[in-house]
Structure 1
Amino acid sequence: MSQPATLGTDKSSLTYFRWAFIVTAIGLILGAVLGWQISGTLDGMATVFFICAVLAVLEISLSFDNAIVNANKLKDMTPVWQQRFLTWGILIAVFGMRIFFPLLIVVIAAGIGPIDAVLLAAREPAEYARIMNDAHLPIAAFGGTFLMMVGLTYFFDHEKDIHWIEWLESHMARSASIKGIEIALVLLLILLFSNLLEGEEATTFVYSAIYGLLTFLAVEVIGGLLDASQKTLAEAAKGGLGAFIYLEVLDASFSFDGVIGAFALTQNLFIIAIGLGIGAMYVRSMTIMLVEKGTLAEYRYLEHGAFYAILILSVIMYCQTLVHIPEVITGLGGAALIGVSLWSSIRFNRLELAQESRHAD
């Protein structure tokens, strides 16, 4: 079956980041203006400017694997739904997850209205940050479980025939014939980590993790039902609205860590929104570039590195319910895995090219 067309034509790599550069300039200017309004000093303005830049880098480092996974899903979607995700989807990602999601947490946790949550963020940022930090455990359990299912589902696939770490991935692919094996592994980890917590925290962890698992399964089922006009369920996953919902929930899960981690740098919701919003635009640009240039096909192990990074991120989110793990470790760990997978792909391509040259001679 022919693959759906991708979004555009050949362009230079920098062209893909044009809007990201524009948003960066606007965002950093807004950050500087906000810093001046908050402090009334050049030092305060420079501090907020710097925090916005650091948050943008943090978001990019934490979400590079998100861009690869998005590209993996998008390359099989129809051009119409590709475009919808990259326009409406990015608006939901930037405004929904970076602004409304933190507000929603405070609305639920504090039992106040949305307007009161905005006023709390503006007038009492310390209290706002405290509520967000108190909600970290259920968020980490929910997001970690969802991402773990995403990663395990990729490796536990009997049709997967390209393996990076051969001895491990080949066994996982063969084990995919055991129905529900990835769910069993996740449930086992949920029980393990819940035993390391005590009292109410353990109960909260279990319930939140189960909700994350149910959300993944619900998105899979709803995606198939919404796109049931396709010939098979496997093809349905490549369809329109169902795949769109899947990508949005996936982006939300990736965003949990960045949003919570941002409060370590600043308690101001609006500074966080600017910094993470800038980073989200680069993730969008990287996604488009990966799809249009066919980078995933060219570098055969890049996808593997991204999904390993997802699995590690999910375990880190679980571990963060027990101890604090600096976000820089999370970001650098994922980036390192992707870098190694890229190097392995380049090495494979060179060896293959050398073999072809020898055969030609």
Structure 2
Amino acid sequence: MVLRIFGFSIAVTIVSIIVAFVYGSWEAVALVVILGILEVSLSFDNAVINATVLRRMSEFWQKIFLTIGIIIAVFGMRLVFPLVIVWAASGLGPVAALDLALNPPADDAPYFPNGDPSYETLITDAHPQIAAFGGMFLLMLFLGFIFEEREHTWLSWIEKPLQKAGKLDMLAVVVAGVLLVLTAEFLAEDEKISTVMVSGVLGMVTYIAVNGLGNLFHIPGEDEDEEASSGPSDLAKATGKAGFFLFLYLEVLDASFSFDGVIGAFAITADPIIIALGLGFIGAMFVRSLTVFLVRKGTLDDYVYLEHGAHWAIGALATILLVSIGVHINEIITGLVGVVLIGLSFWSSVRRNKRIEAEGGTAEVELEKA
């Protein structure tokens, strides 16, 4: 099963390394491998969250996510997205922007001898608005989870009070709005305040719109056990419009997660080909495979706190993105925070399962009795 799920990703990795060697010798290979590891470490929480949504989708929409979705993830976010930023920031055409990316100034200087900014400089300058959009989208996702009453709580001492507070209508929007204003006021440069505000509001609106469309086409009985259902999850599978909007939600979510990886990649290299190979063909493919593995194995049902840990990691990532508008944060810290939180939630889940077994039951029995 493991080979079947990860086999294609391994094959793509081998091909990507060969292409990198032909493109730029061993130095390019090293950069591609580093970027692939960076993407997987930054996006492990993304895989867990993707799995919580993917298991609600029908087999057809799961295949769409794993085919068309991966094309969007690899080419759209890891290759085209940085070029779009350069087009918008510099006014250059697509061909000129690509030429700028492939021909950086000597010695990685931020400007060409004639004073024109480099590709990397343009991307870096666009970081505040990118971080504001992605940070607010992810923050809304985190707040929506943490304010909603749930059967299980991981960090009960803080999750239970937050769930009670969440009964206040639109609390997530209020909290996110206040944090956006504080971020723009105290972290953004004066000339970037309005840009950060607009980008942040767009991030909030995007989340509300996509999440709202998903709820609009919510399947009756989706959250109830279905005796006739099969597979790792007992959830009714979303089809038609419901499946489409879940797919749309996943793509926006994946894009928000990829912002920090794309920006972080420029601390390593500004070459768009190397970034596409490392972040896209290696990193994004393995994240997709990991998502499928979690769904097929029913891991989220067996380890009930994993979803909580992933959402806390999302909250941490959202905070890091917003803080990075005014303060540089090392990418290693960004990756480690998510890994540590998910690791702790997995450990808590294992302890919970052992405790239930010691009491003569199983996690599944407890869930049925609850």
The alpha carbon displacement at 1:352 in A equals 0.8
Query: Which residue is 1:251 aligned to?
Result: 254
Task: Note the aligned Cα RMSD (angstroms).
Answer: 2.0
The alpha carbon displacement at 1:95 in A equals 0.9
* Partner deviation per Cα, 1:24-54 (whole Å, 9 max, x = no partner): 101111111111xxxxxxxxx2211111000
- Give TM-score, length-normalised by structure 2: 0.86
* Counterpart selection for 1:322 from 320, 323, 326: 326
Q: Using the alignment, how far apart are the partners of 1:341 and 1:231 within structure 2?
A: 30
Query: Which residue is 1:204 aligned to?
Result: 195
* Partner deviation per Cα, 1:197-216 (whole Å, 9 max, x = no partner): 34212222111111111111
Matches within 5 A, 1:223-234: 223-224=214-215, 227=217, 230-231=219-220
SS at match of 2:17: helix
Q: Which one-letter code corresponds to 2:99 in the other structure? A: L
Q: Using the alignment, how far apart are the partners of 2:324 and 2:285 within structure 1?
A: 27
Q: Gaps (5+ residues) in structure 2? A: 109-117, 224-234, 362-370
* Partner deviation per Cα, 1:239-259 (whole Å, 9 max, x = no partner): 211111100000000000000
Query: Which residue is 1:342 aligned to?
Result: 346
* Counterpart selection for 1:174 from 164, 169, 174: 164
Note if contact 2:55-2:237 (Cα within 8 Å) is conserved in structure 1.
no
The alpha carbon displacement at 1:183 in A equals 0.8
Note if contact 1:27-1:274 (Cα within 8 Å) is conserved in structure 2.
yes
* Partner deviation per Cα, 1:165-212 (whole Å, 9 max, x = no partner): 012111222222211101111111111112213421222211111111
Query: Which residue is 2:50 aligned to?
Result: 70
The alpha carbon displacement at 1:157 in A equals 1.1
Query: Which residue is 1:42 aligned to?
Result: none
Q: Using the alignment, how far apart are the partners of 2:36 and 2:342 within structure 1?
A: 19
Note if contact 2:313-2:337 (Cα within 8 Å) is conserved in structure 1.
yes
- With over 3 angstroms needed to count, the CA separation of the structure-2 counterparts of 1:240 and 1:250, relative to structure 1, is same
Question: Does 2:133 correspond to 1:142?
Answer: yes
Query: Which residue is 2:39 aligned to?
Result: 59
Q: Using the alignment, how far apart are the partners of 1:296 and 1:236 within structure 2?
A: 16
* Partner deviation per Cα, 1:138-186 (whole Å, 9 max, x = no partner): 000110000001111111113x111000121112222222111011111
Question: Does 2:8 correspond to 1:28?
Answer: no
* Counterpart selection for 1:105 from 79, 85, 101: 85
SS at match of 1:178: coil
The alpha carbon displacement at 1:312 in A equals 0.1
Question: Does 2:265 correspond to 1:262?
Answer: yes
Q: Using the alignment, how far apart are the partners of 1:89 and 1:68 within structure 2?
A: 16
Q: Which one-letter code corresponds to 2:191 in the other structure? A: E
Question: Does 2:212 correspond to 1:189?
Answer: no
Note if contact 2:56-2:236 (Cα within 8 Å) is conserved in structure 1.
no
- Give TM-score, length-normalised by structure 1: 0.89
Note if contact 2:56-2:237 (Cα within 8 Å) is conserved in structure 1.
no
The alpha carbon displacement at 1:231 in A equals 4.3
Q: Using the alignment, how far apart are the partners of 2:142 and 2:100 within structure 1?
A: 37
Q: Which one-letter code corresponds to 1:271 in the other structure? A: I
* Counterpart selection for 2:152 from 151, 158, 162: 162
* Partner deviation per Cα, 1:224-245 (whole Å, 9 max, x = no partner): 45x37x4499899952111111
Note if contact 1:224-1:236 (Cα within 8 Å) is conserved in structure 2.
no
SS at match of 2:43: helix
Q: Using the alignment, how far apart are the partners of 1:224 and 1:313 within structure 2?
A: 25
* Partner deviation per Cα, 1:262-288 (whole Å, 9 max, x = no partner): 010011111011000111011000000
Matches within 5 A, 1:230-241: 230-231=219-220, 238=238, 239-241=242-244
Q: Which one-letter code corresponds to 2:44 in the other structure? A: F
- With over 3 angstroms needed to count, the CA separation of the structure-2 counterparts of 1:237 and 1:169, relative to structure 1, is farther
How many pairs does the alignment contain? 335
Segments of 4+ moved more than 6 angstroms: 232-237
Question: Does 2:291 correspond to 1:301?
Answer: no
Q: Using the alignment, how far apart are the partners of 2:349 and 2:215 within structure 1?
A: 32
Q: Using the alignment, how far apart are the partners of 1:273 and 1:114 within structure 2?
A: 17
Q: Using the alignment, how far apart are the partners of 2:212 and 2:48 within structure 1?
A: 23
